[in-house]
Amino acid sequence: MGAAGVGLGRLLLALDATMVSLVDAPRGLDLAVASAALIDADDVRLGLSMGADAADLFFLLGITEQQALHWIDRQTSGPATRAPVAVFVKKPSAALVAHAVAAGIAVVAVEPRARWERLYRLVNHVLDHHRDRADPFSDSDTDLFGLAQSIADRVHGMVSIEDEQSHVLAYSASNDEADELRRLSILGRAGPPEHLEWISRWGIFDALHTSGEVVRVAARPELGLRPRLAIGIHHPPENDRRPPAFAGTIWVQQGSRALADDAEDVLRGAAVLAARIMSRLAARPSTHALRVQQLLGLADSDSLGVADLARELGVVADGNAAVIGFHAAGHHARLPDVVALSASAFRVDAQVTSKGGRIYVLFPHVAKPPSVTSWIRGTIDTLRAELGVQMQAVIAAPVAGLGGAAAARTEVDRVLDTAERHPHVVGQVTSVAEARTTVLLDEIVGLVSADQRLVDPRVRALCARDAVLARTLRVYLDSFGDIAVAAQRLHVHPNTVRYRIRRIEKLLSTSLADPDVRLLFALGLRAVERQ
């Protein structure tokens, strides 16, 4: 992400007091935050926690006061270290605050009911899509937080934007008129069961899924629910025969002030804008994912070297790395996230990204490649058992440093390309080295089949004239000219194979004793089969 980032004050404004509150910022609120990391008690206890240079902001999960004090000391004790911009903590003690402030670290208190994974996702969303507008990776059309606040200012309500699974993606500033359902939704907690049951019973969710019209939800004082407006967000259909795809919901909670008279018209326009923004966000990788793609040669590196990319990702640039590519049969939108969870559980330094229907995992430093292969097999078996997903995987390891990651990924893709064309030729889990012969032959045959001049016309004529003779020739050549083996594979008598071979030689006016002829015909037969 580089030097570009979000000022700490701007980040806190985006997250809102519903989620976080500033305790103290000894160096002010203008320091840029460009990256965030999670640290838990095991990281501190086992000495696995990252240095402050690996991230600007740290979430301290389930860490005791003594562990937190020790961690802060480690971040600021060395001559080459720098203090992180801020730490996010639930119920920070006075001692922790004093220790952090003395080290120049801002302390942000997190609402105790907030879910860490929700906060982490929201912070990364802000960092990726709410930065300074001069940032070349950002533009005004990809800011859901900005859209939510603009809607709120225009219609005089409190706005939240959710995805199709009712997860809050962005929201406007709240005030003391926010009801319990809004607060819990933002914090990542499920609303009270009686609230959700009432909303579902009245068909509100069904209306949002199937209609582009605004839905009015009346107040329920006995449940603590204030009045709301809602509209479904729908992506345009891929063709005229399919309905629009439901992508999420915009909710507007009314406070004591009446909503604007044209609030419904504003929401109809906002739903169109939200759909466009969500489509762009889905099509564009996060900045972290972009850096991983740059390291793997999947995106232009913007003049950043391997050392720069490794430093931003917080990983080592030397040592033996491993690059794995996964391909799944069919489309599974959540599969990259599932693989990322598995990879991160296996190695804390795992880097995961996806592109073009493939998922790539980079392990920056692997001492024992066989353990990675075991992890791959276990992941594939689990996904097949739990999700019914059939996957193939290719590993390149060991790779000498991250400087070789892009070339290794290219080789992985070559194997996956062959696997897609011939799923039964390449194993479910294979390595670049194991598949080299299969890949090279497949690519050579592909080049031959793409140029008719490279296929002997006698081969085409034989295939068109007599499929039995063409099959016999293919099996005979694949059997290295061994009549007995060819007969066994064809389920015929050896004399039948001898007769057919003599007939083939007569038709083709050549001798199959010539090794050049055998090579030419073997490639030609494969090329014709592919066509």
Domains of the chain: 6-133 (3.40.1390.20), 144-283 (3.30.450.40), 301-436 (3.30.70.270), 451-529 (1.10.10.2840)
Is the pLDDT at 521 greater than 70? The verdict is: yes
Helix ranges (H only) for 156-262 are 180-186, 193-201, 204-210
Residue-wise pLDDT tens digits, 447-499 = 988 888 998 899 999 989 999 999 999 999 989 889 999 999 999 999 999 99
What's the pLDDT at 413? 95
Q: How far is CA 462 from its chain centroid?
A: 49
Is the pLDDT at 83 greater than 90? The verdict is: no
Helices 515-530 and 467-478, packing angle to 10 deg: 120
Least confident of 96-100, 262-266, 382-386: 382-386
User: Three-class SS of residue 392?
Assistant: strand
* pLDDT tier for residue 170 given thresholds of 50, 70 and 90: confident
State phi, psi for 168 to the nearest 5 degrees.
-70, 125
Please give the single-letter amino acid code of residue 228: R
List 38's β-bridge partners, or say none: 59
Residue-wise pLDDT tens digits, 220-251 = 888 788 999 999 999 876 555 567 789 899 99
Q: Report DSSP letters for 2-62, one per residue.
A: TT--EEHHHHHHHH-TTTEEEEE-TT-S-SEE--EEEEEHHHHHTT-PPPGGG-SEEEEES
Residue-wise pLDDT tens digits, 305-347 = 898 888 888 888 888 999 999 998 876 767 887 888 788 878 8
The mean per-residue pLDDT over the stretch 505-525 comes to: 91
What percent of the chain has a predicted confidence (pLDDT) above 70? Answer: 89
What's the pLDDT at 43? 67
Q: What is the mean pLDDT of the chain?
A: 84
What's the pLDDT at 139? 41
What's the pLDDT at 238? 59
Q: Report DSSP letters for 208-231, one per residue.
A: HHH--S-EEE--BGGGTBPPEEEE
What's the pLDDT at 78? 61
Is the pLDDT at 425 greater than 60? The verdict is: yes
What's the pLDDT at 34? 85
Write the secondary structure of 320-354 as one string of H (helix), E (strand) and C (coil): EEEEEEEEECCCCCCHHHHHHHHHHHHCCCCEEEE
The whole-model pTM stands at 0.54
